[in-house]
Chain A
Amino acid sequence: DAGVIQSPRHEVTEMGQEVTLRCKPISGHNSLFWYRQTMMRGLELLIYFNNNVPIDDSGMPEDRFSAKMPNASFSTLKIQPSEPRDSAVYFCASSLGLTGGHGYTFGSGTRLTVV
């Protein structure tokens, strides 16, 4: 199994530009999570999906952030317009069901820098 695949690995963009992060979960996993990690705030949950349906997006910082999961094998996190404070590592994780923390598999992350 290739694991959770995220792209791009690194993204450097200018303030105001649109950024799209992509995630392919493990085949068969029906829960998908988008996290953001910074030194200041640690690992924060942004949004999660179960069976392709967004369940809770209360962690999304503001309207500039949006996420979709059009099918079981693909999800996107979009930031429009991007700001320097969005600079962070964004992780996607998947699991078989809502396990409460057991068996989460994280992707390698996208390191986003907004200048």
Chain B
Amino acid sequence: RKEVEQDPGPFNVPEGATVAFNCTYSNSASQSFFWYRQDCRKEPKLLMSVYSSGNEDGRFTAQLNRASQYISLLIRDSKLSDSATYLCVVPPPASGGSYIPTFGRGTSLIVHP
């Protein structure tokens, strides 16, 4: 299994829909994870962190399934402005000696009217 895998999409959904995508990882020692958002021709920006207890921020919910080694991002009531690429970020294991996270290739979301 690759270190971090994401379905590239695109996920094409109408406004108001609920959409979810997953990110699988291979290093089970990771303690926390992140979702970054990247708009077209822009830089990645931190969207939210994902901890063992999950995380919710408005319409966005991020969860961690440690047994199956994946994290998920759920977006409720999709807006046109949610259209972007969502990058999963897996930190290095705490005991591995590296400080560098692995970025997934991203999942493209297109929200249409």
Interface residues of A (CB under 8 A from B): 42-43, 45, 48, 56, 91, 98-104, 106-109
Task: Give the A-B contact count at a CB cut-off of 8 A.
Answer: 44
Q: Report if B42 contacts A (CB, 8 A).
A: yes
> What's the Cα separation between A101 and B30 when bound, in Å?
12
Residues of A within 8 A of B43 (CB): 91, 106-109
A sample of 16 inter-chain contacts (CB < 8 A) reads: A42-B103, A42-B104, A43-B44, A43-B87, A43-B103, A98-B100, A99-B99, A100-B92, A100-B101, A101-B34, A101-B91, A101-B101, A102-B49, A102-B91, A104-B46, A109-B43
A32 to chain B, nearest CB (A): 13
User: In the complex, which of the residues A98, A100, A106 contacts B44, with contact meaning CB atoms closer than 8 Å?
Assistant: A106
A77 to chain B, nearest CB (A): 16
**Chain A contacts for B92, CB-based, 8 A:** 100
Q: Is the CB of B45 within 8 A of A106?
A: yes
How many of B's residues come within 8 Å of A, CB to CB?
A: 22
Contacts A45-B100, A56-B100, A102-B32 supplied; 9 other A-B pairs, CB < 8 Å: A42-B103, A42-B105, A43-B105, A48-B100, A100-B99, A101-B91, A103-B46, A104-B36, A108-B42
**Residue from the set B87, B89, B101 with the largest chain A CB neighbour count within 10 Å:** B101
Q: Bound state CA distance, A109 and B91, in angstroms? A: 22
* A56 CA / B89 CA spacing, docked (Å): 19
CB-CB contacts of B67-102 with A at 8 A, as 1s and 0s? 000000000000000000001011110000001110
Q: Out of B33, B87, B99, B106, which one reaches A98, CB within 8 Å?
A: B99
**Interchain CB contact (< 8 A) of A42 among B34, B45, B106:** B106
User: Which residues on the A side are within 8 Å of B34 (C-beta)?
Assistant: 101-102
Q: Which of B50-80 contact A (CB under 8 A)?
A: none
In the assembled complex, the CB of A43 is this many whole angstroms from the nearest CB of chain B, namely 4
Instruction: Please determine whether B46 and A102 come into contact, CB atoms closer than 8 angstroms.
Output: yes
Of all chain A residues, which has the CB nearest B43? A106
